[in-house]
């Protein structure tokens, strides 16, 4: 192609120079400055002392500047940050511990209060039971007393009645005897007979 060949003409001497690197002044036509000696510039030993010297000066100063100024500062920034993060994490852990302790204390208090409430309830329950028991006993005692009295009165009434029974039996017996036998029977006789029968 037309274009490529045109370029090849221009670039050929240069690439040739790059390969051989030892050509003389044959390439002066390509505009190479006089101090380059027509040599591939990176391989020109004439420039070595100057480049090494300035490399040593610039890199040396750069190294010192980084070592003395930049790196302590960067290291400081990063240390401060990591310290701060550690501190914050510690504080968070501490606060969490405090919160946990508070929760535990609250739960303990709650448990204590529950236990207290239970004992109070139990006590009230026991007291109420004891009171009820006492009242029941009192009532029972009163009832027992009344029962005893009633029984005693029944017994006395019964005894009286039994006593009456003798008289009634004597009366009845005398009436029967009178009706059957006729005539009067001695009162004492009948009483004795009744007594012997009742026995």
Interacting residue ranges for other proteins, rule: CB under 8 A: 3, 6-7, 10-11, 14-15, 17-18, 29-33, 35-36, 40-44, 46-56, 58-59, 61-63, 65-67, 69-71, 73-78, 80-81, 84
Nearer to other proteins, 52 or 104 (CB): 52
Nearest-approach distance from CB 34 to other proteins, in angstroms = 10
Nearest-approach distance from CB 98 to other proteins, in angstroms = 26
Nearer to other proteins, 11 or 26 (CB): 11
Nearest-approach distance from CB 115 to other proteins, in angstroms = 51
Token pair 């001695």 is at which residue?
186
Q: Token pair for residue 94?
A: 């501490």
Residue 25 near residue 38, CB atoms below 8 Å: yes
Nearest-approach distance from CB 54 to other proteins, in angstroms = 4
Nearest-approach distance from CB 96 to other proteins, in angstroms = 23
Nearest-approach distance from CB 112 to other proteins, in angstroms = 46
Nearer to other proteins, 27 or 173 (CB): 27
Nearer to other proteins, 60 or 166 (CB): 60
Nearer to other proteins, 59 or 106 (CB): 59
Please give the full DSSP string across the chain, using - where no structure is assigned: -HHHHHHHHHHHHHHHHHHH----GGGGGGT--GGGTTS-GGG-GGGHHHHHHHHHHHHHHHHHHIIIIIHHHHHHHHHHHHHHHHHHHHHHHHHHHHHHHHHHHHHHHHHHHHHHHHHHHHHHHHHHHHHHHHHHHHHHHHHHHHHHHHHHHHHHHHHHHHHHHHHHHHHHHHHHHHHHH-SPPPHHHHHHHHHHHH-
Cα–Cα distance measured from residue 42 to residue 28, given in angstroms and rounded to the nearest whole number: 17
Nearer to other proteins, 66 or 162 (CB): 66
């Amino acid at each position: 192609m037309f274009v490529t060949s045109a370029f090849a003409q221009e670039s050929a001497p240069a690439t040739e120079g790059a390969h051989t690197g030892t050509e003389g002044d044959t390439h002066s036509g390509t505009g190479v400055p006089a101090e380059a000696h027509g040599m591939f510039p990176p391989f020109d030993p004439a420039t070595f002392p100057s480049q090494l010297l300035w490399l040593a000066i610039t890199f040396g100063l750069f190294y010192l500047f980084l070592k003395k100024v930049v790196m302590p500062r960067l290291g400081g920034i990063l240390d401060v940050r990591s310290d701060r993060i550690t501190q914050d994490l510690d504080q968070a852990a501490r606060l969490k511990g405090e919160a946990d302790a508070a929760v535990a204390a609250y739960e303990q208090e709650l448990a204590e209060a529950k236990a207290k409430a239970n004992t109070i309830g139990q006590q009230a329950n026991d007291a109420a039971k004891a009171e009820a028991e006492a009242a029941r006993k009192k009532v029972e005692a009163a009832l027992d007393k009344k029962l005893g009295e009633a029984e005693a009165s029944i017994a006395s009434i019964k005894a009286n009645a039994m006593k009456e029974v003798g008289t009634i039996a004597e009366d009845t017996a005398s009436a029967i005897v009178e009706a059957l036998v006729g005539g009067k029977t001695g009162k004492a006789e009948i009483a004795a007979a009744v007594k012997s029968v009742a026995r």
